[in-house]
Structure 1
């Protein structure tokens, strides 16, 4: 986000933590396939059971409380690749689909848990186990930055892909995307002959309600079984197993309690020439990234509330600085 803008007060009175979002779980002891289970839960409740944090996992396990397989909402979309930086304004035309795979990659049909992407010294990409520890490249800027070379930062600290993503989001903007050949060549020069993480990953596991996968609760040493046919997940004795979606098992559904809250935000402008209205989508994107880091994507929806004049922000006087306030829900 533009350095001339400082968020002074955000989400006053709004509950940030995942426990503020209530999930009520329901169990149906009736054999159905995963697709049948999904259809049933959506018709009667909200969806198949979703888990976004340890508290919800404990509640689900306590509720199921049996040694029978029970379908939950986790399933695989093994061929979906996406960038960690999801701001659509950052990509023009087909830039989000630019790829530089090495011969034979990606290896998704051979090794099922290779879901994160690295760039080798050759400049070619490969999918790899996300738990590998490698240096990484962060992006520091906003959508529409023209001088991209000033916005890429090589971090020579070996981390897993998830740790690297967290680091980039805390200290910069996100893990780096690669939009074209020129940017790929630039990264090749930056990495100093070291294999390095970039921001591309495969959205291998996701929840039926569209929320992202953030809790690791698998059997078999913390990973799903290495097969491309078992792409739906059951809970069994408090752990998860991926099975054939056409087998029939009990069902765990959830009902989400929806809450709406209108919140006022105040931002400070260090540069009076900055037009906050032009940055409102970037600000909203940054807020969503903060929620995403807490596992709340899919549960939180944000939008600006426009005033009668069609604008979101209006100037207010606070001491000597120029500040703007806007409201969203």
Structure 2
């Protein structure tokens, strides 16, 4: 297995406040000469070796490295089997991809026939981004970008200016993407990546930041202090770069009311989504733990007034990803909310409060 070394970005033991409320980065001040030992230290003290999900994570880690006395450290990437991955973390439930080389890193481009071509990711092409409706619904707007970029640069452009490179979950979406890309004279990038990089904690990250001059078949890698690029090297004696998740999913199922009591007695309370970052981090945590069944969260509807409210008093914001695109109305609602996976993406949905599911709690 190939593990990545990242220049140690955390000075001393304090966490970085930049990662978000539900995930923080830490550095262990104890060297490990292999990734198994590094992972053991992270799991004993925090959650796991860090997974890098996007450019923002990479920049934060590089900034933390610059402020520390350490030069590099282990992160949780390793070389495993080749597999298909969507840029936004969606499950690959539909595919028209026939890789020409199953043992090479390739990316998918959609052609005029709606088929997906297997192409080296460093080639430059037009690309398709998507945006989610502002009401948090399940309708997506597709945008063909008539600029020539390699796959990684196209991914970065879509994430900075829209939501991400487009993912396709069924034949209907494939047709919509094809029809929205008719202005491109050649096949254009979609968000599908085929490579052999996986993450030790099971995180579904398709973000890559390799320094191209280095051979990717080498067993281990580290992030360079100078530019944050990842390069590969032999095993070294380095510090583990860890993260801590402040999300807990109960092992047992229970009613919504019992779930709220469980979280408040054992942890700081049931999960409340205070921002889009909270929503993203929760989806990542559920994804990496392969949880697709409904899980309770701290959201309930007022039976008297009909509005939905988080148990910490916060209102439900317009970015909240409801199943069907909007919050259920009072007369038709079942009054308690859970998150569940629908077509590969997590959404909020109303459930009978007496139903029994696992619950997502916030840890101190």
* 1:132 to 2:128 alignment: no
| Counterpart position of 2:188 | 196
Matching of residues 78-97 of structure 1 within 5 Å: 78-86=81-89, 96-97=92-93
Let me know the Cα RMSD of the aligned residues: 4.9
Q: Which secondary structure does the structure 2 equivalent of 1:306 belong to?
A: strand
TM-score of the aligned structures, taking structure 1 as reference length:
0.54
Matches of 1:82 and 1:215 in 2, distance apart? 12
Q: Which secondary structure does the structure 1 equivalent of 2:97 belong to?
A: coil
Q: Which secondary structure does the structure 2 equivalent of 1:37 belong to?
A: helix
Q: Which secondary structure does the structure 1 equivalent of 2:215 belong to?
A: coil
Shift of 1:106: 4.6
* Unaligned segments of structure 2, at least 5 residues: 1-15, 248-272, 289-295, 321-361
- Note closer, same or farther for the CA distance 1:23–1:71 as it changes in structure 2 (3 Å cut): closer
Matches of 1:28 and 1:310 in 2, distance apart? 54
- Note closer, same or farther for the CA distance 1:35–1:177 as it changes in structure 2 (3 Å cut): same
Matches of 1:220 and 1:179 in 2, distance apart? 31
Matches of 1:236 and 1:153 in 2, distance apart? 34
Matches of 1:233 and 1:118 in 2, distance apart? 28
* 1:107 to 2:101 alignment: yes
| Counterpart position of 2:44 | 43
RCO higher in structure (CA 8 A, sep ≥6): 1
Q: Which secondary structure does the structure 2 equivalent of 1:38 belong to?
A: helix
Shift of 1:254: 3.6
Shift of 1:28: 3.6
Shift of 1:250: 2.0
Shift of 1:117: 1.5
Residues 288 and 297 in structure 1, CA contact (< 8 A), matched pair in contact too: no
| Counterpart position of 1:281 | none
- Note closer, same or farther for the CA distance 1:188–1:207 as it changes in structure 2 (3 Å cut): closer
Matches of 1:117 and 1:193 in 2, distance apart? 16
Q: Which secondary structure does the structure 2 equivalent of 1:53 belong to?
A: helix
* 1:233 to 2:221 alignment: yes
* 1:26 to 2:17 alignment: no
Shift of 1:243: 5.0
- Note closer, same or farther for the CA distance 1:174–1:258 as it changes in structure 2 (3 Å cut): closer
Shift of 1:109: 0.9
Aligned residues: 252
Matches of 1:311 and 1:233 in 2, distance apart? 57
Question: Deviations for 1:19-57, whole angstroms, at most 9, x for unmatched residues?
Answer: 88653322444533x334323432345433566233423
Shift of 1:195: 1.6
TM-score of the aligned structures, taking structure 2 as reference length:
0.50
Matches of 2:303 and 2:18 in 1, distance apart? 32
Matches of 1:252 and 1:308 in 2, distance apart? 47
Question: Deviations for 1:218-270, whole angstroms, at most 9, x for unmatched residues?
Answer: 5553xx5143xx454346887744357xxx5424224546669xxxxxxxxxx
